[in-house]
Amino acid sequence: MKYLLLLLLLSSYSYCFAQYPGAEYDSLRKAMENDYHVEDSILIVSPAGVTLTATLVRAKRLTAKVPGILFYTIYANPGRSLREAKSMADHGYAGIVANARGKYLSRDSIRPYEKECEDVNVVIDWISRQSWCDGAVAMYGGSYSGFAQWAATKHLHPALKTIVPYVAAIPGQGLPMENNVFLTANYQWAFYVTNNRFTDNPVNNDNDRWQRMRNNWYHSGAAFNKIDSIDGTPSPWLQKWLSHPDYDAYFQAMVPWKEDFAAINIPVLTIEGYYDDGQISGLEYLYSHYRYNPAAEHYLIIGPYDHFGTQTGGTAVLRGYKVDSAALINTREITFQWLDYVLKGAVKPAILKDKINFEVMETNSWRHVPSIEKMHDTIWKFYLDSSLNKGFYSLNSKKQQGSIRQTVDLSDKAQTSSYYPYPLEQSEYPGNNGLAFISEPLQQAAIISGSFAGDLYIKCNKKDIDFHVALYEVRADGSYFQLSYYLARASYITDRTKRTLLTPGKIERLPFSRSRMISKLLPAGSKIMVVIDIDRNPFAQVNYGTGKDVSQETIADAGAPLQVEWLPGSTVDIPILQ
């Protein structure tokens, strides 16, 4: 895995704001005096006595009551708050930016993720009761702010009329762990948001430190729960999160869970990206909302964007790939068009021609369908075939006999695996040590559209494995384009809330479905490649397979090399839009 990944992940998961901007802030504040009512140090006290800080901006030209728009953030920054609230006021609303518990002027303890279900609703209630508010409140924002919106809906306040979450996080389902595998990609985030009342930018931006820490930990073979010792700074939040390897009541309390979604009856607009590292979190909300409330008015916009790009509308070049011009949108303007639609009876944003709106890469066009299931109209089922052709195994439409044996010495740190899509286009085989399965050339063009899934059958000599599956296009010129990937711990694959260990020597079934969504045209002559491997690299826990808490396993637990037999009948399902 390329270590440039580190820089990408660090930027992707932390919206970096500067500290208090001083003279720049004072200048902006003064320039607004004639045209805006500004209150930048509002203290909102909850019934429990917790204090939250907010900034309010209202245009003086608006004398009637108006809806309040809330942007809730943990990245406290007075200058950013003032600019954000002004933008809301310029669109005809009362603009409010509220800071999470313990940030800016609040002197309560900083508790990321844990109390937003309570605190966001305290702010919503306060807004709805102000003399300038018509009683309606809406929210928007990305990443942490997307999470905060969904946290508010767990106990839906009657004043909250709509939310517009972009790339919304789910603690425990994207970070700090994905499918129960704890990641190191955002390790520094807890320091970044809890070291002071603003943000600790020097710590967050010390990429050399975090790369060194990951490499030192990985090559030392130390337990994952010792990674902060290797860094030299205790991380109480890491240790707390590691004490919850299941997606248990601790995480479930932070956002809606299962039947909670049935009561969410407000319109929602989700905006996501095919290459958002946290896409599985953002889309999990959508899937759950429709699962428990089939009549939900929930719209999706998704295209070729990463975590940052989704929040702005994309970039012309994404990880080295030239994006279709039609994919470049204006997320902020669409957001305010949506707010006008819900709160003021304006027309719906033009891009929302149906519930699910997605850009098909390489076609320079958007498609609009009523459901996720309609993103494709057929499924190509491929069997993993043990027959070899020029060093690669085969993807076949018919079941073949023969298994594939893979040996991985987890104590050998020179052996690493790679699945992360950076850059998107590569001239050489990108799968590192993985098992690659390639289809025959496509006889005609096809659109891969949706999330690929699979049903794997294995036997191994350990009680658990972490594995990943990556999906590629192999172009006619021999280059590779990464489409999607999936990462998981086998012992949680059927129930993320409860660990069920493998039985060594027994045939085990590993069905999976939470892969990244993609929609892209593959021209005739292209091939489809699937790469499967055991996950082992500095960017996640190493599962040595003893069945103990993976965070406590060390290289001493590696024992005999891992022997995995990938069995006949294993399949991968590729969604195709004709």
Give residue 390's pLDDT band: very low, low, confident or very high (50, 70, 90): confident
Domain boundary among 346, 373, 400: 373
Same domain membership, residue 146 and residue 68 = yes
Q: What is the mean pLDDT of residues 134-145?
A: 98
Please state the domain count of the chain. 2
Q: Is the pLDDT of residue 12 over 80?
A: no
Same domain membership, residue 311 and residue 417 = no
pLDDT more than 70, % of the chain? 96
Same domain membership, residue 237 and residue 299 = yes
pLDDT at 255: 98
Residue 231 backbone phi and psi in degrees, to 5: -70, -35
Closest CA to 63 of 92, 25, 87, 85: 92
pLDDT at 7: 33
Q: Are 36 and 57 contacting, i.e. CB atoms less than 8 angstroms apart?
A: yes
Q: How far apart are CA 173 and CA 181, in angstroms?
A: 9
Same domain membership, residue 338 and residue 455 = no
Same domain membership, residue 412 and residue 490 = yes
Domain boundary among 325, 349, 373: 373
- With tokens 């890491």, the residue in question is 238
pLDDT in tens, 453-474: 999 999 999 999 999 999 999 9
Same domain membership, residue 395 and residue 331 = no
pLDDT at 291: 98
Say if strands 51-59 and 94-99 run parallel, antiparallel, or are unpaired: antiparallel
23-37, 139-153, 300-314: segment of lowest average pLDDT: 23-37
Q: How far apart are CA 513 and CA 507, in angstroms?
A: 20
pLDDT at 16: 36
Q: What is the mean pLDDT of residues 177-191?
A: 96
pTM: 0.95
Closest CA to 342 of 136, 59, 91: 136
Q: Is the pLDDT of residue 370 over 60?
A: yes
Q: How far apart are CA 245 and CA 220, in angstroms?
A: 23
Higher pLDDT, residue 8 or 531: 531
Lookup: tokens for 293:
């409330």
Give residue 368's pLDDT band: very low, low, confident or very high (50, 70, 90): very high
Q: What is the mean pLDDT of residues 434-443?
A: 97
CATH of the domain at 445: 2.60.120.260
Say if strands 453-460 and 562-566 run parallel, antiparallel, or are unpaired: antiparallel
306-315, 341-350, 396-405, 495-504: segment of lowest average pLDDT: 396-405
Q: What is the mean pLDDT of residues 528-545?
A: 98
Residue 431 backbone phi and psi in degrees, to 5: -85, 5
pLDDT at 389: 87
Label each residue of 292-336 as H, E or C: HCCCCCEEEEEEEEEHHHHHHCCCCEECCEECCHHHCCCHHHHHH
Q: How far apart are CA 118 and CA 121, in angstroms?
A: 6
CATH of the domain at 263: 3.40.50.1820
Range of the domain at 516: 376-577
Same domain membership, residue 381 and residue 348 = no
Q: What is the mean pLDDT of residues 347-367?
A: 98
pLDDT at 21: 59
Q: How far apart are CA 106 and CA 212, in angstroms?
A: 34
Same domain membership, residue 407 and residue 292 = no
Q: What's the mean per-residue pLDDT of the chain?
A: 95
Domain boundary among 373, 403, 421: 373
Q: Which residues of 412-442 are buried (b: 16+ CB within 10 A; e: fewer)?
A: ebebbbbbbbbbbbbeebbbeebbbbbbeeb
Same domain membership, residue 211 and residue 157 = yes
Torsion-angle region of 395 (φ positive above 0: left; ψ -120 to 50: alpha; else: beta): beta
pLDDT in tens, 91-116: 999 999 999 999 999 999 999 999 99
pLDDT in tens, 237-286: 999 999 999 999 999 999 999 999 999 999 999 999 999 999 999 999 99
pLDDT at 13: 36
Q: Is the pLDDT of residue 516 over 70?
A: yes
Q: What is the mean pLDDT of residues 515-529?
A: 98
Same domain membership, residue 541 and residue 402 = yes
Closest CA to 15 of 194, 192, 270: 192
Same domain membership, residue 383 and residue 299 = no
Which whole-number Å values give the CA distances from 248 to 61, 126, 172, 245, 496, in the listed order?
50, 31, 9, 8, 8
Same domain membership, residue 404 and residue 332 = no
